[in-house]
């Protein structure tokens, strides 16, 4: 169904029918329920804190012995928060937190080259997001710290970190 056809269909419905359809969608689809719950009661700070806990649990697990260290967990939260419309400041903080935890993990464990590549991608996405949302003044120190961490520890892709910073300049 095209957007035009949907608009036409919705305009033909009576108010009561439209309300019933929205309530039905709310009960049927968890994504719709989550969206309306967020719109009417945005607990952004709580959502970001829960995401941070899950991200740190990926690298430093509390219940299992071995860390999974999956970047995809953080990426899923970040994309979801962007879609919901969470404050860009909180999303930037979450992106940096993910990178900082991963860097701490890399000091303690022997990580494969794919880990470095993945963190380089995260850093690039972070710098682009911070730049697009004009948040550099708030996060400059933490971004530089992540960059210095990669260069001082001789990460194999430290040039990628440097190229990412060129976006800001």
d(CA 41, CA 81): 15
> Which candidate, 60, 57, 59, 37, places its Cα nearest to that of 47?
37
State the chain's mean pLDDT as an integer: 91
Exposure of 86 in the CB half-sphere (CA atoms within 13 A): 24
pLDDT at res. 63: 87
pTM over 0.85: no
pLDDT tens column, 56-102: 999 999 888 888 888 899 999 999 999 988 999 999 999 999 999 99
Predicted confidence band of residue 109 (pLDDT cuts 50, 70, 90)? confident
């Amino acid at each position: 169904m095209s957007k035009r056809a949907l608009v036409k269909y919705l305009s033909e419905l009576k108010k009561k029918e439209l309300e019933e359809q929205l309530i039905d969608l709310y009960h049927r689809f968890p994504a719709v329920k989550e969206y309306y719950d967020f719109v009417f009661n945005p607990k952004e700070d709580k959502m970001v804190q829960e995401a941070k806990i899950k991200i740190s649990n990926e690298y430093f697990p509390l219940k299992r012995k071995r860390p999974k260290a999956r970047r995809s967990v953080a990426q899923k939260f970040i994309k979801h928060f962007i879609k919901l419309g969470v404050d860009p400041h909180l999303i930037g903080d979450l992106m940096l937190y993910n990178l900082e935890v991963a860097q701490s993990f890399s000091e303690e464990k022997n990580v494969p080259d794919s880990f470095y590549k993945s963190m380089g991608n995260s850093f690039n996405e972070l710098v682009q997001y911070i730049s697009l949302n004009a948040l550099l003044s708030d996060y400059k120190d933490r971004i530089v710290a992540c960059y210095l961490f990669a260069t001082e520890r001789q990460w194999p892709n430290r040039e990628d970190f440097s190229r990412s910073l060129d976006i800001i300049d």
